[in-house]
Amino acid sequence: MMRCAVRTIIAAAGLVAAALAQTPNKPAAGGSSFERLAKQADAARTANQVDDAIRLYKQALRIKPSWEEGWFSLGMLNYQLDQYEEGRDAFRHLTVINPNVAVGWAMLGLCEFETKQYAEALRHLEKGNTLGLGQSEQIADVTTYHLAMLLTRYERYEEAMKLLTQFSQHGKDTPDYVQAMGIAALRKPLLPSEVPPTEHELVMDVGRAMFDATALRMSEAASEFRRLIEKYPKESNIHYLFGTFLLYSDANQALDQFKQELEITPNHVPTLVTMAGEYAQREDYKTGLVYAERAVEASRDSFAAHAVLGRILMAGDINLEQGIKELETARRLEPGSPQVHFFLATAYGKAGRKEDAAREREEFMKLRKEFDESTAAAERRSGPKSDQP
């Protein structure tokens, strides 16, 4: 994947360099040493005289260290040569000069990924993705893929799958994306290169089913999941994934799948949380309470577990005071969750804490607005969906 990614990014680099050249730092016509070196460097890069271009860019940047296009081009040339430490340093200069250039953060993160600075790479790829990479679909795709891999490595599986869904919904069903989806769906904190050979087939099978499901190819996905159940009946996460697929079309069958998952993995927190939430939806709070308490016991740091337990204790009139405490714990663990603030507002209202309830309602509305705006912005950046099958 990395060789393909390099070629993809290099192909898009000219567009980004052209955009940066429109900034006030663009070299003006004239005869200064900087202007002469800048032109020579650009010409050498265009002629694919990479070593000469690197030398000339360095000379020009010593004269004018604020030249954004120069740092970008120098970083890209080093990236092209697999000189990731040098590329990292160049992109770091670019982000210091202009912290609003999304591609600078993205390329910095990609270089750090290659130097195995994974925590830094995750942070910088997230920043680039947040700022928006609309000027280059190619760079955006490579950034999204690497960001999803790192989210998976750091056990942020749902976030990784949400990113990878962008590929499935746009018809980009390449083996690398399918593999990344399979690893995240199986909740394995691994990079693709770390997957044992004995698990490659499992990962690809799961990834394909998830790609079909997230692309809303429902009949194909249903067939894929049934094959998975037959092929891997005792594999952890398979029944959970099939259950989540079934939940909105046949909740009773979904619950059967969740129960089979718990026979294989008794402390599977996502399954416990999802079952608790389904029973809460049915207002069967007594049954839901059992699964919610098991979820909290299995993972004290799971905001979702505390949230569903708090919701059940509050909505089922089981223990309002304890329900509020659970929801407050969930808020502390995940302050950006709109649902937690919504349920806390309800709980505070039931407890007669009007000011607290009003504050939580206000926070809920604020977060919902931010979510809607960010979703709309992401859809604008991603553009129209592909017509590919």
Tokens, residue 247? 């939940």
**At how many degrees (to 10) do helices 2-20 and 68-80 cross?**
170
Which 8-state DSSP code applies to residue 199?
G
Give the mean model confidence (pLDDT) for residues 82-89.
97
| Cβ atoms 271, 243 nearer than 8 A | yes
Top pLDDT among 186 and 3 is at: 186
Judge whether residue 246 has pLDDT over 90: yes
Q: What per-residue confidence (pLDDT) applies to 17?
A: 57
Q: What per-residue confidence (pLDDT) applies to 5?
A: 56
Q: What per-residue confidence (pLDDT) applies to 133?
A: 84
CA diameter of the chain: 81
Judge whether residue 328 has pLDDT over 60: yes
Question: Taking the CA atoms of the chain, what radius of gyration do you get in angstroms?
Answer: 25
Q: What are phi and psi of 83, to 5 degrees?
A: -95, 75
Q: What per-residue confidence (pLDDT) applies to 138?
A: 86
Tokens, residue 197? 């050979």
Q: What per-residue confidence (pLDDT) applies to 323?
A: 98
Separation CA 108–CA 78 (nearest Å): 12
Q: How many CB atoms within 10 Å of residue 277?
A: 20
Q: How confident is the model at residue 184 (pLDDT cuts 50, 70, 90)?
A: very high
Q: What is the pLDDT of residues 146-162, one digit of tens each?
A: 999 999 999 999 999 99
Q: What is the pLDDT of residues 195-241, one digit of tens each?
A: 999 999 999 999 999 999 999 999 999 999 999 999 999 999 999 99
Q: How confident is the model at residue 28 (pLDDT cuts 50, 70, 90)?
A: very low
Query: What domains can be seen in the chain, in order of their start residue?
Result: 1-154 (1.25.40.10), 267-379 (1.25.40.10)
Judge whether residue 136 has pLDDT over 70: yes
Q: What per-residue confidence (pLDDT) applies to 376?
A: 60
Top pLDDT among 21 and 328 is at: 328
Which whole-number Å values give the CA distances from 353 to 275, 310, 340, 346, 349, in the listed order? 30, 17, 16, 10, 6
* Chain centre distance of CA 360: 27
Separation CA 319–CA 82 (nearest Å): 59
Judge whether residue 75 has pLDDT over 70: yes
Instruction: Please choose, from the candidates 178, 175, 186, the residue with its C-alpha nearest in 3D space to the C-alpha of residue 215.
Output: 178
User: What's the full length of the chain, in residues?
Assistant: 389
Q: For 130-134, 182-186, 255-259, 370-374, which range has the lowest pLDDT when averaged over its residues? A: 370-374
Q: What per-residue confidence (pLDDT) applies to 377?
A: 58
Residue whose structure tokens are 């949380």: 273
Separation CA 89–CA 78 (nearest Å): 10
Q: What per-residue confidence (pLDDT) applies to 384?
A: 46
Judge whether residue 87 has pLDDT over 60: yes
Q: How confident is the model at residue 8 (pLDDT cuts 50, 70, 90)?
A: low
Predicted TM-score (pTM) of the model is 0.87
Q: How many CB atoms within 10 Å of residue 155?
A: 12
Residue whose structure tokens are 């769906």: 185
| Cβ atoms 115, 108 nearer than 8 A | no
Tokens, residue 182? 């399979």
Q: For 23-27, 197-201, 326-330, 385-389, which range has the lowest pLDDT when averaged over its residues? A: 385-389
Q: What is the dihedral of CA 89, 94, 97, 101, to 10 degrees?
A: -140
Separation CA 335–CA 159 (nearest Å): 16
Percent of the chain with pLDDT strictly greater than 70: 88
Sequence letter at residue 344 = L
Judge whether residue 386 has pLDDT over 50: no
Tokens, residue 240? 């959970």
Q: What per-residue confidence (pLDDT) applies to 385?
A: 42
Give the mean model confidence (pLDDT) for residues 135-154.
92
Q: What per-residue confidence (pLDDT) applies to 371?
A: 78
Judge whether residue 114 has pLDDT over 50: yes
Judge whether residue 26 has pLDDT over 80: no
Give the mean model confidence (pLDDT) for residues 295-322.
97
The average confidence (pLDDT) of the chain is 90
Instruction: Please choose, from the candidates 109, 130, 129, the residue with its C-alpha nearest in 3D space to the C-alpha of residue 120.
Output: 109
